Amino acid sequence: MAFKTIIEPFRIKTVEPLKMSTVAERRKYLKAAHYNPFLLHSSQVIIDMLTDSGTSAMSQNQWAAIMQADESYAGAQSWERFYSEVSDLTGCEFVLPTHQGRAAERILYGYLGGKGKVFISNTHFDTTRANIEFSGAEAFDIPCRESEDFDSDYPFKGNMDVNRLEKLLKQHKKNVAAVIMTVTNNSGGGQPVSMANMEAVAALCKKYKVLLILDCCRIAENAWFIRHKEKGYADKSYRAIAKKMFDMADGSIMSAKKDALVNMGGFLTLRDKKLADACMGLLIITEGFSTYGGLSGRDMEAVAVGLREVFDDDYLNYRIKSTSYLGDHLRALDIPIMYPTGGHAVYVDAAKLYPHIPVHQYPGQALACALYTLGGVRCVEIGSVMFGKYDAKKKLIPARHELVRLAIPRRVYTQSHIDYVVEVFQEVRRTREKAKGLKIVYEQPFLRHFTAKFVEL
Ligand code: F0G
């Protein structure tokens, strides 16, 4: 007997109160935050869908492990437990603990990069691209063609375009520093990557003798899609699927703030001793000694336990189904989303929802503001505020899409929270003609979305 209701596979032992507010109060808060949800105080937010990064609720076993942490400077037992879990999962001998994902990126891509070097990815996450470009190297995104169609039910829109990969490998030859496969493809809508695509990419990297790095921060979520949507994996465990992917890579970079179910942490793993030694030197200079890097003993304990828990059948099933629950309900309301729903977030097509707001008045930012004002829901614009550039005449060159991401923190919200978000969208839809565009009145030259100030038009 299969029941339809997806229950959270946990009960709640500690609670964090949410502060309720009214529409009138939120209008005031948003104005004071210059119509940028990043500038709101978290206490002014009811449901926070800004990110799934570092926002997980930890389990009783993670908290218990934290109490056993060994904070010795060198050779701590916590390091041994962390090393044993990470090396077992990734199959890599060399493990470098970092304070979060981008620190691992800075070390590896800073070392491999530099002027004239090239990196190729299904889609570089923004910190990945920033670290590569900061080194002077160039970053190419080659998502598969199917990812352009938001409505088709193609199950692996996170894939890399293999034909373009081979062309780039031929064209740039020895200058290719690494190929980076991001699973799931966060900047590409949280869409999964198939095992077949990983195999094809790994074969090309081998043929052209290029390093293949897995950006694995959502690899457990990706494994769910392989098991349920790709032929031949229905009877494999999620962990076995993830291990098979790791086996094909020369190393991995992980922001543990996602699928390791912790609030802070990350790592870099490598198979090659020479490369690992060079990175270790940089780790000790900028993060910390090799047996803790950027982490305390407690952080390493929590990661070691979280990396096991994330592959639990009941957890992953609840996780992916509850994300698609939100996606399906929004579609039923005729809200345009990137379909099928990915693993950690729902991406709404704001340009389609607000056809009366031109791109240079930022429809995505307008939607983020409406969601906050109407329901206290905070999310992030992924469109021309985040990725737009100016031409020589200061005219906006828009981003490829005007999206809004509703990222779902892990083990934090219940189904009634999500039902509430769906209801807020009902109101967004009903009042959509009233939504107003915005104008930027203050911005920084880089990563402007974090601090930009707007006025309503
Ligand atoms: N790679 C991917 C695919 C990511 O999604 C992130 C972070 C990073 C690397 C960097 O890791 O934050 O630990 O330094 N993504 C967060 C997000 C910030 O909201 O999607 P970090």
Higher local confidence (pLDDT), 388 or 412? 412
380/407 Cα distance (integer angstroms): 8
Residue 189 — very low, low, confident or very high, per pLDDT cuts 50/70/90?
A: confident
Query: pLDDT tens, 226-255?
Result: 999 999 999 999 999 999 999 999 999 999
The letter for the amino acid at 336 is P
Which pLDDT value is given to residue 272? 98
Pocket test residue of 217, 267, 295, 381 for ligand 1, highest count of atoms within 8 A of CB: 217
Average pLDDT for residues 124-141, to the nearest whole number? Answer: 94
Dist. CA 266 → ligand 1 center (Å): 10
Residue nearest to atom 19 of ligand 1 (CA): 51
388/382 Cα distance (integer angstroms): 10
Residue nearest to atom 11 of ligand 1 (CA): 101
**Of 18, 9, 13, 17, the residue nearest 376 (C-alpha):** 18
* Six token digits for residue 59: 């389990």
Query: pLDDT tens, 409-448?
Result: 999 999 999 999 999 999 999 999 999 999 999 999 878 8
Query: pLDDT tens, 65-91?
Result: 999 999 999 999 999 999 999 999 999
Pocket test residue of 100, 109, 127 for ligand 1, highest count of atoms within 8 A of CB: 127
- Residue 126 burial (CB < 10 Å; 0-12/13-18/19+)? middle
Residue 125 — very low, low, confident or very high, per pLDDT cuts 50/70/90?
A: very high
Which pLDDT value is given to residue 445? 82
**97 and 156 Cβ atoms separated by less than 8 Å:** no
3-state secondary structure labels for all residues of 425-455: HHHHHHCHHHCCCEEEEECCCCCHHHCCEEE
> Any idea of the CA torsion for 445, 447, 449, 455, to the nearest 10 degrees?
0
Average pLDDT for residues 391-399, to the nearest whole number? Answer: 93
Which pLDDT value is given to residue 111? 98
Residue 387 — very low, low, confident or very high, per pLDDT cuts 50/70/90?
A: confident
Pairing of strands 438-442, 453-456: antiparallel
Could you state, in order of their start, the residue ranges of all structural domains in the chain? 23-52+313-456, 60-309
User: Cis link prior to 363 (omega < 30° from 0)?
Assistant: no
Average pLDDT for residues 107-127, to the nearest whole number? Answer: 96
179/301 Cα distance (integer angstroms): 31
Which pLDDT value is given to residue 234? 98
Q: Which atom of ligand 1 is nearest to the CA of 407?
A: 19
136 pLDDT above the threshold of 80: yes
Find the residues whose C-beta lies inside 6 A of ligand 1: 51, 53, 100-102, 125, 127-128, 182, 186, 215, 217, 255, 257, 266
Which pLDDT value is given to residue 124? 94
Dist. CA 221 → ligand 1 center (Å): 15
pTM for the model stands at 0.96
**238 and 278 Cβ atoms separated by less than 8 Å:** no
Pocket test residue of 258, 378, 379, 404 for ligand 1, highest count of atoms within 8 A of CB: 258
Contacts of 22 by beta carbon, 8 Å cutoff, 6+ apart: none
291/96 Cα distance (integer angstroms): 8
Pocket test residue of 48, 53, 218, 346 for ligand 1, highest count of atoms within 8 A of CB: 53
How would CATH label the architecture of 23-52+313-456?
Answer: Alpha-Beta Complex (3.90)
Dist. CA 258 → ligand 1 center (Å): 8
Residue 2 — very low, low, confident or very high, per pLDDT cuts 50/70/90?
A: confident
Average pLDDT for residues 143-159, to the nearest whole number? Answer: 96
User: What is the 8-class DSSP label of residue 414?
Assistant: -
Q: How many CB atoms are closer than 10 A to CB 45?
A: 20
341/320 Cα distance (integer angstroms): 9
Residue 126 — very low, low, confident or very high, per pLDDT cuts 50/70/90?
A: confident
How would CATH label the architecture of 60-309?
Answer: 3-Layer(aba) Sandwich (3.40)
273 pLDDT above the threshold of 80: yes
